[in-house]
């Protein structure tokens, strides 16, 4: 069921034409900042991958991939990617990149099972990135350090936009706050995960919630994660679990928590097996990606995705992701947006 929130007295700060120009500026500026900050080189990426290889991102494990057959390949089934979480790890391995260097790419996907609203679209565009690390570097300290470096890129981009459109005032705090999902649940056991996110995002302005995927004290994870890319089961050494997380900011237009990025240190062979068992899908270890990882032939990495349209939506103070990307929306939603002055592209 499609859901739509209409902010009270919403008025876009930029015209449609100005918005189109600003989208290009944000994307060009941010990807240069990101690639420089993390030593990433740009690579081309697939829109689809062969079905049954384990290369596609399974997201929460219930979303259906868009599939099609290829006539000139004996009707071999292909899947439109959900993201490139696992494909990137194979790519950096095959490129033989040294520790401390990585890749980024423009990832375009179709997620046909998305529930369409202000921030969710059938069309997904993000910067997918992957960085080679050492086995000894798979720690919470590296995760925090990389998050801070990405946050610096966000801060620079915010000033870049303000310098060109002074009607868009900077609001990001100087520092990002780190919170474990386990601690958040213990502090607010009566709230849902989304309500907890809203509370801390409004309080701090920008937070990174660590440990997404493992069951919390109430038996439920903070949010879903597939078992075969981020490491959400390894102990961090301070009584917590999880080497991954979500970067969330407070959205002043929608008045809610707003996820810009998901990232994490990737599974080791040991944590992959543990997470497959935890999700009752040990048979996946026979797939192409999983067997390469378990054989030790894939590099240790960390990586993530940063939503391009979401980033533009946030920095340009838009009420709907359809103001920063072209997608398909229900007629009823288009009508509501038109009546509220929300110009869908």
Residues labelled catalytic: 57, 111, 126, 246, 259, 262
Please list the residues that pair with 261 across neighbouring strands.
Answer: 247, 306
Measured CA distances, 169 to 105, 122, 165 (Å):
29, 30, 8
Say what the alpha-carbon torsion angle 306, 312, 318, 321 is, to the nearest 10 degrees: -50
Query: 24 CB contacts (<8 Å, ≥6 apart)?
Result: none
CA distance linking residue 250 with residue 68, whole number of Å: 39
On whether the CB atoms of residues 308 and 260 are closer than 8 A, the answer is: no
CA distance linking residue 126 with residue 212, whole number of Å: 20
CA distance linking residue 111 with residue 63, whole number of Å: 8
Measured from the Cβ of residue 258, the count of other Cβ atoms closer than 10 Å reads 23
Residue 63, burial from CB neighbour count under 10 angstroms (0-12, 13-18, 19+): middle
End-to-end Cα spacing for the chain = 22
Say what the alpha-carbon torsion angle 51, 46, 325, 161 is, to the nearest 10 degrees: 140
Measured CA distances, 139 to 128, 163, 262, 266, 268 (Å):
21, 37, 17, 11, 12
Q: What percent helix, strand, coil does the chain show, rounded to 5?
A: 35, 20, 45
DSSP alpha helix (H) spans, the chain: 16-38, 87-94, 140-164, 181-187, 193-204, 269-278, 288-294, 308-315, 331-339
CA distance linking residue 282 with residue 278, whole number of Å: 9
């Amino acid at each position: 069921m499609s859901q739509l929130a209409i902010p009270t007295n919403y008025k876009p700060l930029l015209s449609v034409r100005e918005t189109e120009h600003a989208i290009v500026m944000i994307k060009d500026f941010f990807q240069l900042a990101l690639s420089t900050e993390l030593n990433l080189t740009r690579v081309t990426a697939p829109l689809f991958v062969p079905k049954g290889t384990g290369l596609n991102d399974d997201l929460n494990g219930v979303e259906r991939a868009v599939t099609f057959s290829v006539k000139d390949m004996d009707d071999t089934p292909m899947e439109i990617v959900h993201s490139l979480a696992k494909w990137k790890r194979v790519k950096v391995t095959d490129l033989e990149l040294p520790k401390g260097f990585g890749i980024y790419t423009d990832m375009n996907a179709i997620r046909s099972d998305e529930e369409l609203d202000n921030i969710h679209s059938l069309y997904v565009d993000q910067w997918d990135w992957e960085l080679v690390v050492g086995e000894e570097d798979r720690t919470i300290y590296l995760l925090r350090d990389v998050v801070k470096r990405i946050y610096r890129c966000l801060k620079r981009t915010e000033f870049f936009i303000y310098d060109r459109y002074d009607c868009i005032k900077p609001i990001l705090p100087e520092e990002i706050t780190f919170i474990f999902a386990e601690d958040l649940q213990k502090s607010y056991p009566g709230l849902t995960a989304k309500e907890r996110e809203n509370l801390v995002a409004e309080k701090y302005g920008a937070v990174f919630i660590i440990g997404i995927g493992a069951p919390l004290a109430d038996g439920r994870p903070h949010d879903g994660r597939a078992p075969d890319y981020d490491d959400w089961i390894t102990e961090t050494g301070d009584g917590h679990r999880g080497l991954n997380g979500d970067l969330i900011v407070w959205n002043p237009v929608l008045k809610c928590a707003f996820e810009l990025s998901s990232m994490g240190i990737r599974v080791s062979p040991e944590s992959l097996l543990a997470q497959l068992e935890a999700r009752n899908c040990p048979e996946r270890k026979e797939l192409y990606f999983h067997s390469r990882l378990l054989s030790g032939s894939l590099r240790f990495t960390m990586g993530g995705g940063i939503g391009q349209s979401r980033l533009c939506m946030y920095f340009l103070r838009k009420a709907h992701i359809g103001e920063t990307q072209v997608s398909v929306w229900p007629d009823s939603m288009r009508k509501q947006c038109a009546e509220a002055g929300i110009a869908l592209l």
